[in-house]
Amino acid sequence: MSGYGGRPPSDWQDPYGGNQGWDAGGAYGPPGANPYGPGAQPPGYGYAYGPPGMYQAPASNASAIGALVCNIVAVLLCCNIVAIPGIITAAIAMGRVQTDPPSARKLTIWSWALFGVSVVAGIVFVVVYLYLVVNSESNYGGSSGI
């Protein structure tokens, strides 16, 4: 059977014992139910409902939640102020996942980008800090030259 409606092959046996009205009026039920006449096909595809569409998975906010958590960790651990806009964009993206998925996707991408910038800024800050500590001159235990 094709799965799109229409008359099944002649050697097909209905496992439930019915004939679905195929003998009475064709593929569309009893006579009078088909507006195109008994046994006539509607114009177009030749199937009652057309070809099936592609399955669309429901929108998920997993990436937005991940971006939100990573940006919060970046603010708490690195004291990095660049991650605060990332938190805001991730939170807005979580609110828009069901109503406006393209906008939520863009906001999530921005949130991940801001997280990346905050990580790079944190690494640069640590490198500069270590450089300044190593190259600083201190007179803590040595002779003062007096």
Q: What is the pLDDT of residues 80-125, one digit of tens each?
A: 788 899 999 999 999 998 888 889 999 999 999 999 998 898 889 8
pLDDT digits (tens, 9 = 90+) for 4-20: 566 667 776 766 666 55
Q: Which pLDDT value is given to residue 134?
A: 87
Q: Which pLDDT value is given to residue 112?
A: 92
- Return the HEC string of the chain: CCCCCCCCCCCCCCCCCCCCCHHHHCCCCCCCCCCCCCCCCCCCCCCCCCCCCCCCCCCCCHHHHHHHHHHHHHHHHHCCCCHHHHHHHHHHHHHHCCCCHHHHHHHHHHHHHHHHHHHHHHHHHHHHHHHHHHHCCCCCCCCCCC
For residue 127, pLDDT over 50 is answered with: yes
Q: What is the mean pLDDT of residues 37-48?
A: 56
Q: Which pLDDT value is given to residue 144?
A: 56
Give pTM, 2 decimals: 0.54
